[in-house]
Amino acid sequence: MSASADFEPTIIGFLCRWCSYTGADLAGTSRVKYPPNMIPLKVMCSGRVDPSLVLKALADGADGVLILGCHPGDCHYHEGNHKTMRRVPMLKSVLQQYGIDPARVRLEWVSASEGDRFAEVVHDFTEEIRALGPQKRVESVA
Amino acid sequence: MGENGKPKFAMYWAAGCGGCEIGVLDIQEALLDVADFFEIVFWPVAIDAKYKDVEAFEDGYIDLCLFNGSIRSDENRHMAQLLRAKSKILVAFGSCAHEGCIPGLGNQYGTEALMDYAYSLSPSTENPQGLRPQAVYEMPEGDLEIPTLLDVLTPLDAVVNVDYYVPGCPPQPPQILAVMTAIMQGAELPPPGSVIGAGVKTVCDECPRERKEKKIREFKRPGTAQPNPNECLLDQGFICLGPATRSGCDALCVKANAPCRGCYGAPPNVEDQGARMMSAIASVIDSSDPEEIERIIASLDDPLGTFYRFSLAKSSLRRLAR
Amino acid sequence: MKRITIDPITRLEGHGKIEIFVGDDGQVVNTYFQIPELRGFEKFAQGRPVEELPRITTRICGVCPEAHHMAGAKACDAVYHVEPPPTGRKLRELLYSTFFVADHSVHFYVLAGPDFVCGPKAPVAERNVLGLIQKVGIDAGKRFFGMRRQAHEVIKLLGGKAIHQVTALPGGVSRGINEEERKQIEAVAEDFVDFGQFTLDVFEDVVLGNQGYVDLVTGSTFRHETYYVGLVDENNCPNFYDGQIRVVDQDGKETAKFHPSEYLEHIAEHVEPWTYLKYPYLKAVGWKGFVDGKDSGVYRSAPLARLNVADGMSTPKAQAAYERMYSVLGGRPCHQTLAYHWARVIEIQAAAERMLELARDPDITSDDFRTVPTATPTEGVGCVEAPRGLLIHHYKTDERGVVTDANLVVGTTNNYAPMTLSIKKAATDLISGLEEVDEGSLNMVEMAFRAYDPCFGCATHNLGDEGSLEINIRRRDGTLIHTARR
Ligand code: SF4
Ligand code: SF4
Ligand code: SF4
Ligand code: FES
């Protein structure tokens, strides 16, 4: 699908406060450039990102949802990100079956020291969503 | 209330199967008390008041209206709006009105596709001219009209405000009886928007099966395996929506050695039943290796239709277009 | 041109509408019977694990979920190339027989009975189940309501839920019954056989004792010469759960007998642009429009059709009743639409007797109630007789048993074309030329389709004593010139 050149994707980012959110800060302070499309939301752990939040974000206007957590083994709550690791593919399989491109949801591990990686992930995902085009919504039936 | 001092009762069946109406009949003798307490002013399967009569009611004329069935056509939507205006308390009665129920799975494909299959692709259908039902069709004797199907099927609250929800497919008679009795005894009703006629826990809480720590390495299907009747189905690898379903049915299916499919809808404080089930399952998959996780998840056929069997038309997915 | 609209016919699955067009000379020009709804089960069955379809297709109809549950389970057996062990098969049939007694009885006592027990032109206030009870005796009422409650309990026991059963699976059922449960069911079955005889007696005394009604049954207004279709066992006796599909012509001659898996060679469905329901017909004869006779592929299904295709009944009491009916009505096949009621009462007894046989079957409490499938799933057809007609489920799956194609030919649909014929004929005979369309005549038009027990012909009609149908007679431009209520 080719999107119009002036399409600016809206992306919701769920960022674990212990790692990725700090990684984002680092990217900011070290002035690494990354696209402004992502609205970052701080969460206590990627394990707190319930699939319903992701679906709601898509339904409420996001074109893509990025979930960033600590690398496996580094989760502040031990297994929080292991849950996420299983939930996200499950959610993707549901989206796929419903006819929504599962690439609109992405899970990545970004530690507090990976400012560059953070910027790269955001950039990459933004471009992917840009290529996918806007997520269309059903108009009200009432 | 009317001149006879009786509150006015209505029941209406939109796009549904009729099972909700039978569920009401199955409260048996108590139905006579209901018929006695209320004045039944509209109930197409029981009495023959017509649409026109409803239109003539003043706003708020009906005290209690049980609306069952989902919104599938413009006619269903019209009746929902009409009954909303005419009713003081409008109840979304049963899974179809509450969450869209099983026919909501049609939203996975869209109305055009449903019609294409029924009128062209089905192997027994002979339709060389490719005819489709038309809203208005001109015949020599006059025009014939039928309702138009909407693009998506929705539950009742997508088109009007709903005061209460009674879940279940169909709601179970003891629950229906409890609701009717409470209303007839003038008990104080919970705040509008509440679910009534159900429990406040999950089906697991009503389930007699023995539970252990769940560890799933592969999903099984009731089609090709026979579950042990005493152990938790989920422990055995059969998807059971018990953990993501509101209590109230008395765990009927699991007691019959069949997994719960979720007809009582999401438990209290859960908005999206399917998402809750995904979370529940993700917590019990016994692996932290991405590839193995992929393999285990791939062994689960039809995740959409399993997690959202009854609630697809209610979930956030409804708002996404393909 | 005047137009008479009967909307909604609340006793159908979904809703229904009848349009009657009356010409300026007062003659009925045409009638249309429209079904305003499609929910699209065939399409969204795709992608589902096949064993879920017996639990999904029940939601087509809350009046006869048992029929879809069974047809679905049998299609699953075929898809997985598995035969349920005798106990599994018998438990399913036991549930199904119980359901048949209950469903048919509701039709007889609540819906249709009032017409001919109280009389088709009796005042509306009397023409309901209460009027019927008054006429037949309070005992009938008690027995009827007691029967309904017992059936509810047995179905819940065997099916898991009283509405929308969950126990039938590929290769059998999800659980068996113990001796205590068997005894409980046996006691109910004994009652049901009594109840069946009682109902046959009611029919004999009250209905056949009324010459006016006998004239109606045997008159020409309610007669169509059509083909008949029904499931029969190896002795050509009707079987509701299983068998071969037999087709007989207007003279009772067998024109086809085939396994349900060959249905596509014999049955096709016709589409009209003014209704959501399709019209099945016999492929070999072809669709010739809404007419009867040998050249028209229109066939009839459900009680009278099942008896018309059969050489006899498989149980003694039902056999006696079957012989009695055909001797009174002048042999087989019988083309009189109102004889559907008689056939239905005979089927109540057939189902009750079968239920008792099964409840006493030594296999029924065995633990061997399921053969878990092992073969690769492919494609299969499941067929039962629903109370309202032949019901066919046809599924195809991928090698994981996920549905790729599902086709359903549903009970009431089978009689959609004949119902249309019957309504037109009754309207032509009974309304044409009338200055004022009186309530009694309209009720008799309704009797033409009520005989077929269109779905949601169940349970509740005329609970109260309110007037029922409203008929608007309009000019072609839609102006209302007359309103009749019955
Ligand atoms: S909720 Fe279930 S029982 Fe009620 S109308 Fe819908 S499908 Fe039928
Ligand atoms: S998951 Fe199912 S079987 Fe297990 S406890 Fe919950 S309801 Fe019972
Ligand atoms: S067990 Fe689940 S699917 Fe079965 S009736 Fe209860 S809530 Fe509905
Ligand atoms: S704390 Fe960062 S993913 Fe759990």
Per-residue pLDDT at B52 = 77
| CB < 8 Å to A138, chain B | 151-152, 318-321
For residue C114, pLDDT over 80 is answered with no
A49, A55, A58, A61: CA torsion to nearest 10: -90
Answer with the residue of higher pLDDT: C465 or C196: C196
Tell me the sheet residues that pair with C258.
C245
Number of domains in chain A: 1
Asked if C33 and C419 touch (Cβ cutoff 8 Å), the reply is yes
Cα separation of C120 and C116, whole Å?
A: 6
For residue C147, pLDDT over 70 is answered with yes
Q: Chain-wide mean pLDDT for chain C?
A: 87
Q: What is the pTM of this model?
A: 0.94
Of the partner residues B23, B25, B73, the one whose CB lies closest to the CB of residue C37: B73
Per-residue pLDDT at C124 = 61
Inter-chain CB pairs, B–C, below 8 Å: 266
Residue C206, in any domain of the structure = yes
Q: Hey, which of B205, B207, B250 would you mutate to test ligand 2's pocket, going by the most ligand atoms within 8 Å of its Cβ?
A: B207
Answer with the residue of higher pLDDT: C217 or B58: B58
For residue C61, pLDDT over 70 is answered with yes
Asked if C241 and C96 touch (Cβ cutoff 8 Å), the reply is yes
Q: Could you tell me the CA-to-CA distances from C359 to A142, C194, C356, C364, C366 in Å, in that order?
A: 52, 15, 5, 7, 12
Residue A3, in any domain of the structure = no
Q: Looking at residues A15-31, what average pLDDT do you find?
A: 90
Residue A139, in any domain of the structure = no
Asked if C160 and B255 touch (Cβ cutoff 8 Å), the reply is yes
Q: Quick one: which of C434, C433, C423 has its CA closest to C5?
A: C423
DSSP-derived secondary structure letter, B59: T
Could you list the residue range(s) of the whole structural domain that residue A58 is in?
13-132
* Ligand 4 shell residues, CB under 6 Å: A 16, 18-19, 45-47, 69-70, 75-77, 80-81
The amino acid at B199: G
Cα separation of C299 and C229, whole Å?
A: 7
Residue C368, in any domain of the structure = yes
Per-residue pLDDT at C1 = 66
Per-residue pLDDT at C11 = 35
Q: How far is Cα of residue B211 from the mean position of the Cα atoms in its chain?
A: 28
Dihedral angle sign, alpha carbons of residues C179, C182, C188, C192: negative
Q: Could you tell me the CA-to-CA distances from C187 to C45, C69, C104, C143, C314 in Å, in that order?
A: 39, 25, 20, 15, 21
Cα separation of C26 and C107, whole Å?
A: 34
The token pair at C257 is 């007998």
Residues (pLDDT < 70) of chain B are 1-3, 46-50
Residue A40, in any domain of the structure = yes
Per-residue pLDDT at C6 = 65
The amino acid at C58: T
Helices and strands of chain B, counted as H and E runs: 12, 11
Consecutive H or E run containing B173: helix B173-184
Q: Looking at residues A125-137, what average pLDDT do you find?
A: 96
| SS3 of chain C: helix, strand, coil, percent, to 5 | 45, 20, 35
The token pair at A88 is 């996200």
Write the residue with the smallest CA distance to atom 2 of ligand 1: B169
Cα separation of C389 and C378, whole Å?
A: 27
Residue C243, in any domain of the structure = no
Which of C38, C142, C175, C466 is best to mutate for the B interface (most B CBs within 10 A)? C38
Consecutive H or E run containing C248: strand C244-248
Could you list the residue range(s) of the whole structural domain that residue C144 is in?
83-223+336-372
Per-residue pLDDT at C473 = 45
Cα separation of C106 and B51, whole Å?
A: 26
Q: Max CA-CA distance within chain A?
A: 50
Residue A141, in any domain of the structure = no
Q: Hey, which of C37, C59, C64, C458 would you mutate to test ligand 1's pocket, going by the most ligand atoms within 8 Å of its Cβ?
A: C59
For residue C382, pLDDT over 90 is answered with yes
Per-residue pLDDT at A74 = 92
Q: Chain-wide mean pLDDT for chain A?
A: 92
Per-residue pLDDT at A142 = 56
By the CB < 8 Å criterion, does B150 face chain C? no
Model confidence over C383-439: pLDDT tens digits? 999 999 999 999 999 999 999 999 999 877 888 899 889 988 888 888 887 777 776
Model confidence over A32-79: pLDDT tens digits? 888 999 999 999 999 999 999 999 999 999 999 999 999 999 999 988
C61 CA from centroid of ligand 1 (Å): 8
Number of domains in chain C: 1
The amino acid at B56: A
CATH number for the domain spanning C188: value is 1.10.645.10
Residue A137, in any domain of the structure = no
Would you tell me how many other CB atoms lie within 10 Å of the CB of residue B206?
19
Residue C175, in any domain of the structure = yes
Asked if C101 and C147 touch (Cβ cutoff 8 Å), the reply is yes
Which residue segments constitute the domains of chain B, with CATH numbers given?
8-102+152-195 (3.40.50.700), 112-150 (no CATH), 199-322 (no CATH)
Residue A122, in any domain of the structure = yes
Quick one: pLDDT band at residue C137, thresholds 50, 70, 90?
Answer: confident
Q: Quick one: which of C450, C224, C237 has its CA closest to C341?
A: C450
Asked if B36 and B101 touch (Cβ cutoff 8 Å), the reply is no
Model confidence over C159-183: pLDDT tens digits? 999 999 999 999 999 999 999 999 9
For residue C121, pLDDT over 90 is answered with no
Residue C462, in any domain of the structure = no
Dihedral angle sign, alpha carbons of residues C435, C438, C442, C447: negative
Residue A103, in any domain of the structure = yes
Q: Spell out the alpha helix ranges (H) of C107-137.
A: 113-118, 129-136
Cα separation of B90 and B83, whole Å?
A: 8
By the CB < 8 Å criterion, does A135 face chain B? yes
Tell me the sheet residues that pair with C230.
C246
The token pair at A13 is 């980012």
| CB < 8 Å to B77, chain A | 141-142
Dihedral angle sign, alpha carbons of residues B224, B229, B233, B237: negative
Model confidence over C427-460: pLDDT tens digits? 888 888 777 777 677 777 778 878 887 653 322 3
